[in-house]
Structure 1
């Protein structure tokens, strides 16, 4: 029976089909211009850019220029890159221009699609940002596509980790800037910690196209970008508390894998209280007394470290460090650390060197960063499953772009086995069979542990010809993935490692040419070798096609359908044949957490023998329902986190806008004077209640506060003794004295120096108070949830208290600025330029294995140098050294107590 919705779709087409059809007239208009564009010389074609800019200046809109600009960009692409965008690619580019997400299958040329929308929007001259998931892709795409932009007279910049502020400023000044999401976010935060407008690197947020938009705006948006600075070393405390956890038994704690939570039972709490008392760490009678809040936090982290975090799945130990493994991609993230002491708890558990905790100096979520853009768009192969989130959070609709050629991949039903061993035996048999028929195989695993387990089992079975691609070998990632389509190749990849690099049947020709011709001089020998490589790749492609194309074998389902679809999508690009199959067992995490006990007993009743699998579309549907539940829960979690961050974001915008106004102002003395007058009035009202008798005035308290805040010794007692004196008179006299003191100071300093001092004092005071405010809100956020037990809405409570804290910040700002300005004195030396503290950046980067913002200083990052490459007698060879690392000079002391102390002296 067909539903009413089904009948309507049959008659009118789906919303997606109608949207795609609506672009056909524009495609026809672009195609109609093709011959006239071909007739133009290179110079005339490039000259179109200035024509378009003139038309915009005369009042035309970007959309008015779409057809001619796309026609110009397509012809320029054919000449500069040797690639002519297909009609479906034109449709994808139009979707990007319309503030939406273009879902395009792997191999459909998303990178080229972006160039059309980028060119059109770059004509406005306000800067277009193309956002990639890692530095490798940013550099690759800016270099490749930069040829097209350069041909058309536009400039291209690239932002990667480790470049200077001047280089960043130049890159942002270009018409088109390629950068990772992390670099963009951190540059925004750093800009709002600068003290001069000229030091800022970004020039606005006009238009951004986000590549792999699901990875960046969904996966990586789970945690905020954080810039932090180190606190005091408390490694002994972590080590002491860590030693308690192995002493506990299973009755002492409760673990909830679904919620990723661990809590102590009453018995366990009592046992811990005794252990803490013996270690002299417990204050008061109970662990949950207010004085022990920090200790409770640390023991909870220690319990999670031991019971919820698994080595080689959630993290690995490398070079005496805990390196996080991203759950979605299985890649290492060396620059990233868990926050709030969790990373230190893992370091204590693994007996590696414990790095000090950090204090948050600035933070922002990707949701709130990317919502600053006037125009935002994205592209990916898999976004439909998260369409609701894109619409709710970012206001972005998802539209599926038809493939250029029909998809020929065969997606087979899942095979479900009872145990891991049975499943892996079946996978190994399938890999061997595919390899024998020369079919390339890509095996997807969910963790390093699983990929290495499978690699070990393959080796033990006598099969040696395979490559493992996971977090341990990410340096070779792009090349290994690019050659995974060679006939008979077997590649074991952790989740979506190598995303952004096409798997082409027969191997990726461009990457082979780049690698094998590197260093060869142009000439007959080089040309002959290039021709031989091309012929070999063509022959290998024919063999791979004959064998059935790329065979994707997945070793288990992920929590998110999107990640499964990404893996499937690696096969069947551009109409190639292909095949995909998922192998599951009842011992897989997803199956185990979602009720595999009932399924196990059912399978046993059905008489399922060892080595046999159950294959049925119902199983696929049941698993999809479980995945939908998890996706919905994760979406609710992100949505809830965003509601709280929106409160901070509103305050952040106020503070950041105020900072920019102060930096732009030629004179802030009026602002400081207003602050001073408000402080004096508040001070007098505090000590002289309204309509109170003189005898009730707190004269001595007022005199003392005037001395502390205004640095003035005034005859308050004598004034108060005068007959007929009123509080307004007192305010006027104190104000007059303070204004005179400041005027004298300004005369001594000179106008230019006084202006510099005033601006510096206000900006530094704002920054210090804002950092404290962020910490206060973090603490409030961690405890406000308990208000729900009292039938009060935690979010409303958070909003109300956050507003009160913000008002307190503004009051403290007036007091602190007034106090500092009344006490500041001129010294003969030029005042040092204000500097921000030592900083590090942190973020969950869902797709990169690069060293993501693990810098010691955001402004002067040194490279990491392996210990064996450091000369103990030459500090210039040491690179970046952690404050708590052993000093490379060999003294045996910590760096901060040895050579690091000299640097900071």
Structure 2
């Protein structure tokens, strides 16, 4: 009884704590005195020369070595404001300074589109730098990382802060130089890949990164939530595991409902008994489900998933003879991203393309694991409130909402809801034609590449020329987005999250007259072709209009046949009959179903994130232990001491021929080889365990507990085994004046390595699939009884 009461009180306390920690708008009263002091100090700083300004920032470093106190914060903001005015011809608003100060307190700040997040982030990064800390500013892609680093460079230089950036094309020397700067910009994936590459170094001189300290994350909700479960992978060359063109050809002939079935969420597909017979006969009358043909069964399942669940121009596009995945949260190509090898090869076989290289996974790290390495994490985005709970749960981060510099006067109209997609799109095109005649610029937000091209084609047929921005032409995105506010412009785009470019009324090169002309027409009009699976993406799209007090408007055209509704609220129906054009006039019931579908979608994605992290958290812990040992081997003589103790006779023999430096190097190479190889084998083992863990669910065992039990048992003997294998190699390998010849001893490292991101399996985990089938069977039984 006492235990039940304690548990109840704990739950109440937890809920009360979450209530207290809900994000709220920053109380400007506590900053009123600070902002007044900054303005007073700013008048004195304005009289300094550039050299004196830099010297003043240098003096601040001496005072801020142990952190910035209230006076130090005032000094930093005054110097930063003046540096921005001189270097960028921009005087930061008070709200930008408040945003920078909240970042310096380790928060995720929500600042609306056009409110100057980039400059606020730069001032915060400089603030950390003057405290002697190293800052990695994580962007969502290479373009934004380089743009922001070059754009903010004048501010950093005036403050005496060094800045660099890394991108996909950077050489090891350029990377090393960039990471030695006080502030380093880079795409989160590129920074993660550098971590993985460093983990394969056998000489400390080859390392490029410095120890992680402060991570300042741009588009924090996208990086920390949407991509948190995406594993970044370092692979090594092996024999290619290619997709089977024969299997792909057979699967192409299968028909849904007859040869295979899909679940109601369209996240899994499986052969019917009839379909299995067709496939078995086509493969030479084999028994797919016997142990002798497990490899063909895996190939068939992968080919079926590629055929039935992945759509070209929705989940991926084909360009230059290669399959390119589409980042669903941004509507653009996911560079270097792929599905796990079997599924990737199946999609390539489906499209009759040459298979890409595959190989063994040498190491991997999730984005969440990568960010978790840093001592301090902060971030900024336009939409953080909706994910405040996840940020608190997974990162212990709090959200601060920064009020806009000028009130938002954008008019957000109620949804216009239709009965079918066809009628919705007809009404949407008619609305665009009508608004276009007035000259008002229009931004149309679509769900995917296929829809963006379909809408653009319909607009052309209606006599309206438009510019399309999607994964097929994302290289031109900055120019397209920048001109979306020009007079009479019509821009059709996939998701706008992370586009990183403001839309100025009148266009990028327009003057004040152009701005005022468009403002008089009502500003940028944003039209959405439906609701996204996340309310944050809706808000990202709306937020492109009404920047800095400009007029603007937005509206969502939705239907009860939209994919979001069909997938997550299949029981949806309206509370009234539609009008002649298919529109439901102020139908509260239809609106509630659409909102319900979006909430369910958000809940599903949160469950996937939470479930994935439960599996990967243990792996991250084991990786930390292995890396701590690896770092000791790489930087000290630990390997030499251990091998000398394990094989004293052989060590003495080698010591007579080699000097201490060479002998230490030999020991290090041997131990690192076996450590890296054993860790790679461990990852492969864990992958196999998770792939078959659904069998535990059917046996009424808890999958996560069984996974942990297997993972811990396998890991327990790794370092001991590495020591034994290293001792055997020391005894048997040829070791001369030039060191150890590992290849002759049959210990060859991969001849090539490459990095990529594994797209989180677009289907449910095997455990969830198995349980879903059990539930479906129970529903059928229940329905039969009733």
Which of 706, 731, 750 is the matching residue for 2:659? 750
Task: Name the counterpart of 1:558.
Answer: 532
Task: Name the counterpart of 2:754.
Answer: 840
* Structure 1 stretch displaced more, 32-41 or 208-217: 32-41
Task: Name the counterpart of 2:376.
Answer: 375
The 3 A distance-change label for structure 1 pair 598 and 364 is closer
Q: CA deviation at 1:780?
A: 0.9
Task: Name the counterpart of 1:807.
Answer: 716
Which of 54, 57, 60 is the matching residue for 1:46? 54
Q: CA deviation at 1:584?
A: 1.4
What whole-Å deviation, never above 9, does each CA across 1:501-531 have from its counterpart, x for those lacking one?
000101124xxxxxxxxxxxxxxxxxxxxxx
Task: Name the counterpart of 1:637.
Answer: 608
Q: What SS is found at the alignment partner of 2:417?
A: strand
Task: Name the counterpart of 1:599.
Answer: 573
The 3 A distance-change label for structure 1 pair 62 and 817 is farther
Q: CA deviation at 1:652?
A: 0.7
TM-score (norm 2): 0.89
Which of 193, 197, 202 is the matching residue for 1:186? 193
The 3 A distance-change label for structure 1 pair 473 and 185 is same
Is 1:571 aligned to residue 550 of structure 2?
A: no
What whole-Å deviation, never above 9, does each CA across 1:63-103 have from its counterpart, x for those lacking one?
66222111111122112211111111111112111111111
Confirm or deny: 8 A CA contact 2:460 2:466 kept in the other structure: no
> Following superposition of structure 1 onto structure 2, how do residues 29-178 of structure 1 map, counting pairs within 5 Å?
29-57=37-65, 59=66, 61=68, 65-178=72-185
> Following superposition of structure 1 onto structure 2, how do residues 281-430 of structure 1 map, counting pairs within 5 Å?
282=286, 286-430=287-431
Confirm or deny: 8 A CA contact 2:530 2:556 kept in the other structure: yes
The 3 A distance-change label for structure 1 pair 651 and 28 is same
Q: What SS is found at the alignment partner of 2:341?
A: coil
Which of 244, 254, 270 is the matching residue for 1:248? 254
What whole-Å deviation, never above 9, does each CA across 1:351-371 have from its counterpart, x for those lacking one?
111224332111001111101
* Structure 1 stretch displaced more, 657-666 or 226-235: 226-235
Confirm or deny: 8 A CA contact 2:57 2:160 kept in the other structure: yes
The 3 A distance-change label for structure 1 pair 119 and 598 is closer
> 2:474 and 2:497 mapped to 1: Cα distance?
8
What whole-Å deviation, never above 9, does each CA across 1:696-750 have from its counterpart, x for those lacking one?
xxxxxxxxxxxxxxxxxxxxxxxxxxxxxxxxxxxxxxxxxx5223311221233
> 1:408 and 1:617 mapped to 2: Cα distance?
26
The gaps in structure 1 that reach 5 residues or longer are: 1-7, 510-535, 677-737, 847-905
* Structure 1 stretch displaced more, 400-409 or 624-633: 624-633
Task: Name the counterpart of 2:773.
Answer: none
Confirm or deny: 8 A CA contact 1:502 1:508 kept in the other structure: no
Q: What SS is found at the alignment partner of 1:462?
A: coil
Is 1:654 aligned to residue 563 of structure 2?
A: no
Q: What SS is found at the alignment partner of 1:260?
A: coil
Q: What SS is found at the alignment partner of 2:399?
A: strand
* Structure 1 stretch displaced more, 648-657 or 803-812: 803-812
Is 1:762 aligned to residue 660 of structure 2?
A: no
Q: CA deviation at 1:451?
A: 0.8
Confirm or deny: 8 A CA contact 1:477 1:497 kept in the other structure: no
Q: What SS is found at the alignment partner of 2:404?
A: coil
Task: Name the counterpart of 2:729.
Answer: 820
Count of matched residue pairs: 736
Confirm or deny: 8 A CA contact 2:229 2:613 kept in the other structure: no
Task: Name the counterpart of 1:781.
Answer: 690
Confirm or deny: 8 A CA contact 2:192 2:367 kept in the other structure: yes
Q: CA deviation at 1:175?
A: 1.2
Q: CA deviation at 1:799?
A: 1.3
What whole-Å deviation, never above 9, does each CA across 1:471-526 have from its counterpart, x for those lacking one?
111121100110110111101111217710000101124xxxxxxxxxxxxxxxxx
> 2:685 and 2:196 mapped to 1: Cα distance?
19
> 1:845 and 1:376 mapped to 2: Cα distance?
25
Q: CA deviation at 1:380?
A: 0.6
Confirm or deny: 8 A CA contact 1:336 1:843 kept in the other structure: yes
Q: CA deviation at 1:153?
A: 1.4
> 1:60 and 1:583 mapped to 2: Cα distance?
50
Which of 18, 22, 33 is the matching residue for 1:25? 33
* Structure 1 stretch displaced more, 294-303 or 637-646: 294-303
The 3 A distance-change label for structure 1 pair 20 and 187 is farther
Q: CA deviation at 1:470?
A: 1.1
Is 1:227 aligned to residue 234 of structure 2?
A: yes
Which of 544, 548, 553 is the matching residue for 2:518? 544
Q: CA deviation at 1:636?
A: 1.2
Task: Name the counterpart of 1:473.
Answer: 473
> 1:647 and 1:556 mapped to 2: Cα distance?
39
Q: CA deviation at 1:156?
A: 0.8
Q: What SS is found at the alignment partner of 1:243?
A: helix
* Structure 1 stretch displaced more, 497-506 or 579-588: 497-506
Confirm or deny: 8 A CA contact 1:118 1:176 kept in the other structure: yes
The gaps in structure 2 that reach 5 residues or longer are: 1-15, 743-747, 761-786
Q: CA deviation at 1:844?
A: 6.2
* Structure 1 stretch displaced more, 177-186 or 495-504: 495-504
CA-atom RMSD in angstroms: 2.4
> 1:21 and 1:787 mapped to 2: Cα distance?
56
Confirm or deny: 8 A CA contact 2:338 2:759 kept in the other structure: no
Task: Name the counterpart of 2:504.
Answer: 504
Which of 549, 557, 580 is the matching residue for 1:583? 557
Q: CA deviation at 1:268?
A: 2.8
Q: What SS is found at the alignment partner of 2:496?
A: coil
Q: What SS is found at the alignment partner of 1:378?
A: strand
> 1:254 and 1:641 mapped to 2: Cα distance?
26
> Following superposition of structure 1 onto structure 2, how do residues 8-23 of structure 1 map, counting pairs within 5 Å?
16-17=24-25, 19-23=27-31
The 3 A distance-change label for structure 1 pair 28 and 835 is farther
Confirm or deny: 8 A CA contact 1:248 1:268 kept in the other structure: yes
Task: Name the counterpart of 2:494.
Answer: 494
> 1:840 and 1:804 mapped to 2: Cα distance?
30
What whole-Å deviation, never above 9, does each CA across 1:95-152 have from its counterpart, x for those lacking one?
1111111111100000111122111100133311111111111111111111011111
The 3 A distance-change label for structure 1 pair 14 and 187 is closer
Q: CA deviation at 1:13?
A: 13
* Structure 1 stretch displaced more, 69-78 or 331-340: 331-340
Confirm or deny: 8 A CA contact 1:257 1:308 kept in the other structure: no
Which of 564, 574, 580 is the matching residue for 1:609? 580
Q: CA deviation at 1:208?
A: 1.5
